[in-house]
């Protein structure tokens, strides 16, 4: 039995859930999200709770049970509170700035990196070394954060680069004489 899948998902007040076959649509204060689930699981809405169950006792149905429940829970959390990822930039001369619908990054290259901000994602630059990425779709927020981080990943000697807030960078000792 799935440890994650067996728990019901609380649907807060102000959130409407519409189930049409395998498609789950969730609408809340921040927006609307849709998800099409695999055929091996079923979703039921009763008493202000969503319950995800496997259709049969096959290995694939049990494997998709916990995943499907987590994906549906992410829809509910996304339309109520949203998701946020914070990035930190460290390095001499490394900085970020918003330029219209683009994020301008100076990361030690001979050129500036312009990252176009996708639809549905909000990027804030509080300080030149801090970037906050927020949105209602957890996958999209994580993907944007990973793409920005991939321009200059933190290196192990001085720790320069773009990293997630609170991320531990394993440091190496430099060359010895």
- Of the candidates 114, 115, 132, the one whose C-alpha atom is nearest the C-alpha of residue 123 is 132
What is the reported pLDDT for 3? 84
Question: Could you confirm whether domain 9-80 is CATH 3.60.15.10?
Answer: no
pLDDT, tens digit (0-9, with 9 covering 90-100), for 36-52: 999 999 999 988 899 99
When pLDDT is averaged across residues 168-176 and rounded to a whole number, the result is 88
Tell me which CATH code domain 83-164 carries.
3.90.930.12
Rounded Cα gap, residues 6 and 2, in angstroms: 6
pLDDT of residue 46: 87
Domain boundaries, the chain: 9-80, 83-164
β-pair partners for 132: 86, 124
pLDDT confidence tier of residue 1, bands split at 50, 70 and 90 = low
Average model confidence (pLDDT) across the chain: 92
Q: What is the pLDDT of residues 60-118, one digit of tens each?
A: 998 899 999 999 999 999 999 999 999 999 999 999 999 999 999 999 999 999 999 99
Closest by CA position to 121, among listed 104, 89, 145, 105: 145
Burial class (CB in 10 A: 0-12, 13-18, 19+), 58: exposed
Q: What is the mean pLDDT of residues 113-141?
A: 94
Domains 9-80 and 83-164 share a fold: yes
């Amino acid at each position: 039995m799935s440890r994650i899948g067996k728990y019901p998902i609380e649907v807060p007040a102000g959130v409407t859930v519409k189930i049409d076959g395998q498609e789950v649509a969730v609408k809340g204060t921040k927006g609307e999200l849709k998800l099409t689930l695999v055929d091996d699981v079923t979703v039921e809405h009763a008493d202000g709770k969503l319950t995800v169950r496997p259709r049969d006792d096959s290995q694939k149905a049990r494997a998709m049970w916990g995943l499907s429940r987590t994906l549906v829970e992410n829809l509910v959390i996304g339309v109520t509170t949203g998701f946020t990822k914070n990035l930190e930039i460290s390095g001499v001369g490394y900085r970020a700035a918003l330029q219209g619908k683009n994020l301008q990054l100076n990361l030690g290259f001979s050129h500036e990196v312009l990252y176009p901000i996708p639809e549905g994602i909000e990027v804030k630059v509080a300080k030149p070394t801090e970037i906050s990425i927020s949105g209602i779709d957890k996958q999209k927020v994580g993907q944007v954060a990973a793409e920005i981080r991939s321009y200059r990943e933190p290196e192990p000697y001085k720790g320069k680069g773009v990293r997630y807030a609170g991320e531990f960078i394993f440091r190496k000792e430099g060359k010895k004489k």
